[in-house]
Amino acid sequence: MAPQVADPAAPHGLLNAKQQHLLDQLQEASEELTGQDLHARLRGTPHGMGLATVYRHLRHLQQRGLVRCRHLPSGEALFAPTERDEHHLTCVDCGSTVVLRSCPMHETHLNPQQLGGYQLLFHTLEFFGLCPGCQERQGSA
Ligand SMILES: [Zn+2]
Ligand SMILES: [Zn+2]
């Protein structure tokens, strides 16, 4: 018998139309989107909404564990669905980003003592470094 796992899709029924629409946009996009991107994508459609509303609903989706957010060295916030288990290696100098092909955390689990009763929803993990181009530029400077 396979162990029962919580269905991560279950909370979707509790989203309002705007939240569901933002989540759909993030799931359809092949890469992470900023709040501005989402705002621009929905502009001119029946689902258009103000930028402040976009961020308010994104925060709600984050609280539900459906969307995660990471910040680039520039301060820009990028959003993606948590179901996409994707990690990045980012250059601290020029900000160029590489998507890692596999999740190094995949086989890592927290034990019940570490969890302390928390229900785990998702994880984030980021790597930072200097890209080959920036290493070369700094070496020749
Ligand atoms: Zn670089
Ligand atoms: Zn992962």
- pLDDT (tens digit per residue) in 50-59: 999 999 999 9
Residue limits of CATH 1.10.10.10 in the chain:
1-83
- CATH class for the region spanning 1-83: mainly alpha
Closest ligand relative to 138 C-alpha = 1
Report pLDDT digits (tens) over 88-118.
999 999 989 999 988 887 767 888 899 999 9
Residue limits of CATH 3.30.1490.190 in the chain:
85-141
Closest ligand relative to 134 C-alpha = 1
pTM: 0.77
CA of 73 to the centre of ligand 2 (A): 20
φ, ψ of residue 3 in degrees (nearest 5): -65, 145
Identify whether the C-beta of residue 102 lies closer than 8 Å to the C-beta of residue 89: no
CA of 43 to the centre of ligand 2 (A): 32
Residues of the chain with pLDDT under 50: 1-11
Which position has the token pair 């470094």? 129
The gap between the terminal CA atoms of the chain, to the nearest Å, is: 62
Please classify residue 119 by burial: count the beta carbons closer than 10 Å to its beta carbon, then call 0-12 exposed, 13-18 middle and 19+ buried. exposed
CATH superfamily entry for domain 85-141? Ferric-uptake regulator, C-terminal dimerisarion domain (3.30.1490.190)
CA of 33 to the centre of ligand 2 (A): 18
CA of 140 to the centre of ligand 2 (A): 36
